[in-house]
Amino acid sequence: MRIRIMRAGAAVLFAAGMAAGPRRAAATGGETTGDLALQMAGVAGMALPESGAEQAALQALRRSGIDLGSDPKARVTQGTLVRIGRSVGVAVASSRPDAGITPG
């Protein structure tokens, strides 16, 4: 039962990242893993410190099974979103994993 609940929660995080990432990228010129981690942690209701929130979000997500890497300034790519999807059991692929995300 716990595994199903965790998968459902992770799927919600994945959906939030997929929906919010491209909008933010369009507004800021590029989504970073730190930005995405903060959005996903917020959706999950994770409490984060005021100082170093991006790094704390990355670490909390990694402990939950979603590894966005350790560099909060790294650019989110299609490959990043594929890894997130796979970590929550969603079958996704990209023909251009190194390409940045775009609104659409």
pLDDT value of position 9: 56
**CA pair distance 14, 40, nearest whole angstrom:** 8
* Any domain includes 25: yes
* Any domain includes 93: no
Q: How many domains does the chain have?
A: 1
pLDDT digits (tens, 9 = 90+) for 16-53: 655 555 555 444 457 899 999 999 998 888 889 888 99
* Any domain includes 101: no
**CA pair distance 15, 11, nearest whole angstrom:** 6
Share of the chain above pLDDT 90, in %: 36
* Any domain includes 14: yes
Answer yes or no: is pLDDT of 5 > 80: no
* Any domain includes 94: no
* Any domain includes 19: yes
pTM of the model: 0.69
Name beta bridge partners: 75: 32
Name beta bridge partners: 32: 75
* Any domain includes 42: yes
Domain ranges, residue 42 = 2-87
pLDDT value of position 35: 92
* Any domain includes 95: no
